[in-house]
Amino acid sequence: MLARTAERVYWLGRFLERAENTARLILVRHHAILDLPREVQPGWDLLLQVLGAEQDFAALPGAANEKNIISFVFGERENPSSIISSLTSARENMRTTREIMPSETWERINSLYLSVARRSNKDLPRGVRHSVLNNIIQSCQQITGMLAGTMNQDAAYQFIRMGRNLERADMSTRIIDAASAGLMGNLEDISPYRNVLWISVLQSLSAYQMYRLNVQRNVSPQDVLEFLFQSHIFPRAVAHCLGEIEHSMKLLPEHKPALAAAEKVLKKLSSTDCGELVDSELHGFIDDLQLQLVDVHAAIVDTWFTPGE
């Protein structure tokens, strides 16, 4: 397999996952806001924080209100992490690797792109938000499913899978970081809703139902963090994503240096006591974890994408 092709399908996996997670994120914010009384509603700017897009947003004209923030995250091509930008990149990466992809996946991603592109210069008012975003989530899942069901599980597939899981791990840490930011203190006014807010953290990762199934206790910060960071059975948990990455790596040639980088992160994560991650500790821990994920990415690039350099 060509190194250049490997790199492109890896990014295809990342961008597709990014588009899906961003749609989830908007949707969950949307529902969280509808669930809470106005005075404790988290602001929409939280969305920008999660995506690390505050500066990009500020650089464009327009007030930081619901309409503008959602348009920015959904359809703004100037925003490199918007859904439309992610889908544009995913499509371009698939278009340029089409020779190795099952052709129906290309058709699916192309029509998803076209449907989002048609909407991207319009608002996403509350009335249509759910159906539009849900369609994106479902289409991305469909593409992931098509790949799992119709593509040779060869090197190309492992690169897509690594891209998807690394992106997912990264996004999970961002979501936990942002969603828990307002939850760690003892602010009087949010305490009655603390439970609802922790539930919304889980929901941001489509994890609530799975958490209940697995943990079978009420929602507590330590349990939630253990589930989201350390679970090996929940697909969006960071440890599970890293496990998937390791599994893919082992199926690829010359994998030693990259695998070592991934194993290091997983080992450190597994030995963390989530009960100690209170207040600012959590934020520092997540920052550190994100940097380690960047190291895994760099190891992947060095190991497979730059032969002879």
Residues that bind other proteins (CB under 8 A): 1-6, 95-96, 98-101, 103, 106-107, 110-111, 114, 155, 252-254, 304-305, 307-308
CA separation for the pair 182, 43 (Å, rounded): 11
The least distance separating other proteins from the CB of residue 111, rounded to whole angstroms, comes to: 5
The least distance separating other proteins from the CB of residue 230, rounded to whole angstroms, comes to: 31
CA separation for the pair 96, 3 (Å, rounded): 13
CA separation for the pair 54, 57 (Å, rounded): 5
What are the tokens at 242?
Answer: 């890293």
Question: Sign of the CA dihedral 81, 86, 294, 29?
Answer: positive
Q: Which position has the token pair 């359809």?
A: 75
Nearer to other proteins, 111 or 220 (CB): 111
Residue at 109: amino acid letter: I
Nearer to other proteins, 35 or 92 (CB): 92
> Which of the 8 DSSP states describes residue 191?
G
Nearer to other proteins, 22 or 105 (CB): 105
Q: How many CB atoms lie within 10 A of CB 12?
A: 29
CA separation for the pair 173, 49 (Å, rounded): 12
CB 74 within 8 A of CB 82: yes
The least distance separating other proteins from the CB of residue 222, rounded to whole angstroms, comes to: 41
CA separation for the pair 138, 142 (Å, rounded): 6
Nearer to other proteins, 103 or 191 (CB): 103
> Looking only at Cα atoms, what is the longest distance across the chain?
60
Nearer to other proteins, 188 or 309 (CB): 309
The least distance separating other proteins from the CB of residue 136, rounded to whole angstroms, comes to: 16
Nearer to other proteins, 10 or 72 (CB): 10
Nearer to other proteins, 252 or 266 (CB): 252
What are the tokens at 13?
Answer: 């996996």
Angle at CA 137, nearest 5°, toward 82 and 161?
A: 85
CA separation for the pair 40, 220 (Å, rounded): 20
CB 27 within 8 A of CB 134: yes
The least distance separating other proteins from the CB of residue 22, rounded to whole angstroms, comes to: 23
Nearer to other proteins, 154 or 279 (CB): 154
